[in-house]
Amino acid sequence: MSTDNIVLRVESLVVETVDKSPKPILKGVSFEIQAGETLCLVGESGSGKSVSSLTTVGLLPSGSLRAVSGRVELDGENLLQATPKRLNELRGSRMAMIFQEPMTALNPVLSVGKQLDEVLACHTKTSTAQRRTQVLDALEQVHLPDIQRMYSSFPHQLSGGQRQRIMIAMALLLKPRLLIADEPTTALDVTTQHQILKLIRELQQKHGTAVLFITHDMGVVVDIADRVCVMKTGKIVEQGPVRQVLSTPKEAYTQCLLTAVPSLTPRPPRPARGPRQVLDVTGLEKEFVPSQGLLSWFRRAQAGTKAVNSVSFQLQEGRTLGIVGESGSGKSTLARCVMRLISPTGGIVRINGQDISVLNSRSLKPHRGCIQMVFQDPYRSLNPRLTIGQSLIEGPMNYGKPRNTAMLKAKELLELVGLPPDAIDRFPHQFSGGQRQRIAIARALAMEPDVIVADEAVSALDVSVQAQVLALFDDIQQRFGVAVLFITHDLRVAAQICDDVLVMQRGQVVEYGPAQQVLGNPQAAYTRQLIDVAPGRSWDFAAFAPAS
């Protein structure tokens, strides 16, 4: 590797927490990136990926973390010794950053044009008219439609993909030498993700930018990286060219990460446990009508949005039905209607033969226990003030179970989901994300349900934890014969856990059938498109080789 072209060099970087007994977060991290090259930092949450990038741009949260030793050189200039003023000059002009969540990374009260303009106003001395031309040009480069309108739009008027394009346009306005992209596509749908990755590649080639790309998604690594650094607990455990790391991983940890990536090839269906149909949904509809408020008499009635439109499916005991689709396709609304957390505006939801779609809250109560939910974010779905035991027994006690019996059952369930018995007296914040999701599953099981609705239940988890939780779902299905309605945007996850798959687009069913058929031989163009753009499709992670 030639050394004269190196844009970023990080050498023996050590970052610690700022408190009485400092804990190391980065333990001597070293890597470098050349102009025009993409380096992927991969690793699970807490491995130090984001801390590495924030240290580089000098945006470590000042009260809690600090760099204690090492060097971070941008074109030979040590950034750790740069003054705040110098760092401000470099940020935006020589190094730029795009973040994970395009929904929150843009200021909601300033127009897009203004937010781009201030980068130029801050770093250059060009006139207002020139700046406007430059901004419009940047918006055009990221292939946004109707750029004049975009210029005066506010972030809430744009889609997630458009916002991320704007973030990219903003980052590349002054043609920085280094672009840091911190999980820039994690919050996006596969189709949008594919487009954004293509765009970053295209602009990088055009401007010769060095890209530090942070991701936990091995699929994305396959699609974008030139070289890879694998991080674990604040250290780089392996680095090298992408092909080499993916095909001949030296470290056991890297091998684990790779083999944990679920395969896109659907698993064979499990033998049916019995013919009992536990959930039967027919012609389900949910229309959201805008609130008219107190002054509804003075206004014309407005047309509503059909979030779920004529959806029908059946679920037998012991089976898993995957509902897949992009954000806004109506998956979560469907789940909430089935749970009767919201009332459907049409159709029938039968649980064990009983239609619950029209029941009032009193007559619904006996049926609530039959259908339980596991939510996406394990950090927010458990009450932080209740111990795990209290959370687990609350439901059964509400249905008349004596406290002692409920507690015994809770202990059994915790053991079943692989948690230590003393977990019962602890609080949610004392557990990791994966453990909390296990607790959430135990809580659902405590009600002895016939159906569990899992709404993106593994999306917030790291790939190795994800594999464990998926295995747990499989295990509880084998034991209890509970049926699972598994909502996910991730086709890899769907392929590994589902017997049947239902693909949704704009509230409607596009394709529905056995997983092997829908994912293995898709008939609908939309399903095919979803599979085509799934990241890392060209690589077979389990075989450490390109996909055949």
Partner 1 sequence: MLGYFIRRLLAAIPVMLVLALSVFLLLRLSPGDPAVIIAGDMASPEQVASIRTALGLDQPIYTQFFIWMGNMLQGDFGTSLISQTSVMTMITQRLEPTVSLALAAIVFTVLISVPLGVIAAWRQGSWVDNLVMSVSVVGFSVPVFVIGYIVIQVFAIKLGWLPVQGYRSLDNGFGEFASRLVLPALTLSSVYIALIARMTRASMLEVLKEDYIRTARAKGLGERLVLFRHALRNAGVPILTVIGTGFALMVSGVVVTESVFNIPGLGRLIIDAVLARDYPVIQAIILLTAGLYVFINLLIDLSYAITDPRIRY
Residue 317 phi/psi, 5-degree rounding, is -60, 145
- Please identify which residue in 18, 77, 122, 478 interacts with partner 1, judged by CB under 8 A: 122
User: How far lies 119's CA from each of 12, 35, 89, 102, in Å?
Assistant: 32, 23, 11, 18
Q: Contacts with partner 1 in 486-505 (CB under 8 A)?
A: none
CB 258 within 8 A of CB 541: yes
Binding of partner 1 by 90 (CB under 8 A): yes
152 vs 205, beta carbon nearer partner 1:
152
Smaller CB separation from partner 1, 87 or 359:
87
Query: Closer CB to partner 1, residue 102 or residue 262?
Result: 102
| x/- letters, 137..166, toward partner 1 (CB under 8 A) | -----------------x-x----------
8 Å CB contact between 239 and 31: yes
303 makes contact with partner 1 (CB under 8 A):
no
Least gap, CB of 86 to partner 1 (angstroms): 10
Enumerate residues 6+ apart whose C-beta is below 8 A from 53: 41, 97, 180, 182, 212, 214
The region of 119-127, 203-211, 399-407, 517-525 touching partner 1 under the rule CB under 8 A is 119-127
**What tokens were used for 495?**
């392929």
CA 6 – CA 35 distance, rounded (Å)? 6
Given candidates 119, 246, 356, 495, which one binds partner 1 under the rule CB under 8 A? 119
Least separation in angstroms between residue 513's CB and partner 1 is 40
**Smallest distance, partner 1 to C-beta of residue 324, A:** 28
CB 329 within 8 A of CB 509: no
Choices 31-39, 291-299, 304-312, 376-384; region in contact with partner 1 by CB under 8 A: 291-299
Q: Which stretch binds partner 1 (CB under 8 A): 15-23, 96-104, 320-328, 497-505?
A: 96-104
Distances (CA, A) of 444 to 273, 370, 392: 21, 10, 8
Cα gap 524→526, rounded to integer Å: 5
* Residue 41 CB partners (closer than 8 Å, separation 6+): 31, 49, 52, 53, 212, 213, 214, 215, 229, 231
| Least distance (Å) between residue 59 CB and partner 1 | 6
Among the listed ranges 6-14, 97-105, 204-212, 246-254, the one in contact with partner 1 (CB under 8 A) is 97-105
Applying CB under 8 A, among 99, 253, 313, 473 the residue interacting with partner 1 is 99
Q: Tell me, residue by residue from 48 to 87, as one string, x for binding to partner 1 by CB under 8 A and - for no binding.
A: ---------x-x---x-----------------------x
106 binds partner 1 (CB under 8 A): yes
Interface with partner 1 (CB under 8 A), residue from 73, 118, 394, 474: 118
Q: Does residue 108 interact with partner 1 by CB under 8 A?
A: yes
Q: Does 170 interact with partner 1 (rule: CB under 8 A)?
A: yes
**Nearer of residues 120 and 498 to partner 1, judged by Cβ:** 120
Nearer to partner 1 by Cβ, of 111 and 387: the residue is 111
Nearest distance, CB of residue 154 and partner 1, angstroms? 4
Q: In angstroms, give the least distance from the CB of 9 to partner 1.
A: 20
Binding status of residue 96 toward partner 1 by CB under 8 A:
yes
Of all helices (H) and strands (E), which one includes residue 412?
helix 403-416
Beta strand spans in 219-364 (E)? 227-232, 235-241, 277-288, 305-316, 320-324, 346-351, 354-355
Residues in the chain: 548
Q: Give the sheet arrangement for strand 227-232, strand by strand.
A: 95-98, 178-182, 210-215, 38-42, 227-232, 235-241
What separation in angstroms does the CA of 62 have from each of 42, 58, 78, 104?
Answer: 25, 9, 19, 21
Rounded to a whole number of angstroms, the minimum distance from the CB of residue 111 to partner 1 is: 8
Burial of 548 (0-12, 13-18, 19+ CB in 10 A): exposed
Residue 128 in the binding site for partner 1 (CB under 8 A)? no
Query: Which residue of 43, 48, 70, 92 would you call a contact of partner 1, by CB under 8 A?
Result: 92
Of 345, 340, 342, the residue nearest 363 (C-alpha): 340
Any contact of residue 294 with partner 1 (CB under 8 A)?
yes
**Interatomic CA distance for residues 55 and 139, integer angstroms:** 29
Total residues contacting partner 1 (rule CB under 8 A)? 33
Which of the 8 DSSP states describes residue 251?
A: S
Could you say which of 45, 88, 387, 508 contacts partner 1 (CB under 8 A)? 88
Confirm if 483 and 319 have CB atoms less than 8 A apart.
yes
- 51 or 494: CB nearest partner 1: 51
Which residue is listed with tokens 């394990």? Answer: 378
Give the interface with partner 1 as residue ranges (CB under 8 A).
Answer: 57, 59, 63, 87-93, 96-97, 99, 101, 104-111, 118-119, 122-123, 154, 156, 167, 170, 294-295, 298
